Amino acid sequence: MRAAIHAACLSLTFAGTLFAKAQASDCVSYGRPVEIKGVLKRATFPGPPNYLSIADGDEPETYFLLTSIKPFCVYSANDGLGDAVEKVSRIQLVLTGSQYSQLRKFVGHRLSLKGSLFGAITGHHRTPVLMEKVEIPVLARTGWKPR
């Protein structure tokens, strides 16, 4: 009986490993360059002091988010500063002031952004996964506007 239970557990473990490997092709790692295709969105969230309600006096904090066309997963970070996340579909962008200006005209449009991912750390981080070191597409830097 024990041998049968042990064999069943090994079979389930093996099947789980195969499933994980099959899903791994859609996973990326924190801190490595990635390219994500999606729709650029602008969202406002309640900030300090309570991070709960703009109507109740919290400061509004506006960020750009990229809603990915195809959800993906992120492996946990080796340094412990990023949890594994399944089905990432919204990524907060960490941008400079000039990058906000360059991307503003693309809100509501599809684009592809390259950057590096990291896990949420503070109350200002509104998605579990964020993108920093964002490379602005050449068309956005040259003043091209979407139709």
H/E segment holding residue 140? helix 138-141
What's the pLDDT at 136?
87
What's the pLDDT at 118?
95
What's the pLDDT at 82?
86
What's the pLDDT at 21?
37
Structural domains in the chain, CATH included, are 26-141 (2.40.50)
Nearest Cα to Cα of residue 43 among 33, 32, 54, 29: 54
What's the pLDDT at 126?
96
Residue 122 CA neighbour count, 13 Å, CB half? 4
How far is the CA of 107 from the CAs of 36, 54, 97, 110, in angstroms? 15, 22, 15, 8
Q: pTM of this prediction?
A: 0.76
What's the pLDDT at 139?
64
Distance CA 41, CA 92 (A): 10
What's the pLDDT at 142?
57
The dihedral over CA atoms of 53, 57, 60, 61, expressed in degrees to the nearest 10, equals -80
Q: Are 84 and 75 in contact (CB under 8 A)?
A: yes
Distance CA 32, CA 78 (A): 12
Nearest Cα to Cα of residue 70 among 93, 84, 94, 91: 91
Beta strands 129-135 and 85-93 are parallel
φ and ψ at residue 2, rounded to 5 degrees: -60, -40
Give the tokens for residue 113. Answer: 């952004």
Q: What is the pLDDT along the chain (147 residues), one digit of tens a residue?
A: 545 544 444 444 443 433 333 344 589 999 999 999 999 999 999 999 999 999 999 999 999 999 999 999 999 988 877 899 999 999 999 999 999 999 999 999 999 999 999 999 998 999 999 999 999 886 655 556 665
